[in-house]
Structure 1
Amino acid sequence: MPNIKSAIKRVKKNETLNAQNTKAKSAMRTAVKKADTAALNNDENAKELIKTAIQQVEKAASKGLIHKNAASRKKSQLMKKA
């Protein structure tokens, strides 16, 4: 644990931001998996789930959680399944 006050604040801030990033990335992955399974099973709400998954992917890319090319690839794969 750091002794300097600003370093202590930085550690706390990093933990908070890390938790937020982990939560957002996990939500994105969950949305993508739900959309994948819905598309494979030809569910009624597959298009809605794919739409929300694409939104989550775009949001993660805009925040820098995933690379923009990775986001583009994920969106393309989802659109193929739709």
Structure 2
Amino acid sequence: MANTPQSKKRARQNERRNAVNKARRSRIRTQLRKVEEAIASGDKDAATSALRAAQPELMRGVTKGVFHKNTASRKISRLSARVKALG
């Protein structure tokens, strides 16, 4: 348990940051799931629009430190290749 005032404050900050990051990660996963579902249904237009909505959300997660840049780039690349193959 935190004893010093500084460590107590850091614990409070970490809790808040954890909640923010959890919400952001959840929002990104939801966007990715929408793309996956659109690909599974075979609807290219829906998949394209879902991917367009997911890309900035993923990159925002990178700038906020939730995901690594290469991880986000890899996910976008693989999803866009699958959407392109739908045609």
Q: Normalising by structure 2, what TM-score? A: 0.84
Q: Which amino acid aligns with 1:31?
A: Q
Percent identity of equivalent pairs? 34
Q: What CA distance in whole angstroms lies between the structure 2 residues aligned with 1:67 and 1:31?
A: 17
Q: Structure 2 regions of 5+ residues with no counterpart? A: none
Alignment: residue pair count = 82
Alpha-carbon distance between aligned partners in 2 of 1:62 and 1:2, rounded to the nearest angstrom: 30
8 Å CA contact 1:40–1:81 kept in 2: the answer is no
Q: 1:3, 1:70 → 2: CA distance? A: 37
* Runs of 4 or more above 2 Å deviation: 42-46
Q: CA deviation at 1:27?
A: 0.9
Displacement of 1:57: 1.0
Do the aligned residues in 2 keep the contact of 1:32 with 1:53 (CA within 8 Å)? yes
| Maintained 8 Å contact 1:36/1:81 | no
SS in 2 for 1:66: coil
Partner of 1:72: 73
Question: Equivalents in 2 of 1:14, 1:32: separation in Å?
Answer: 26
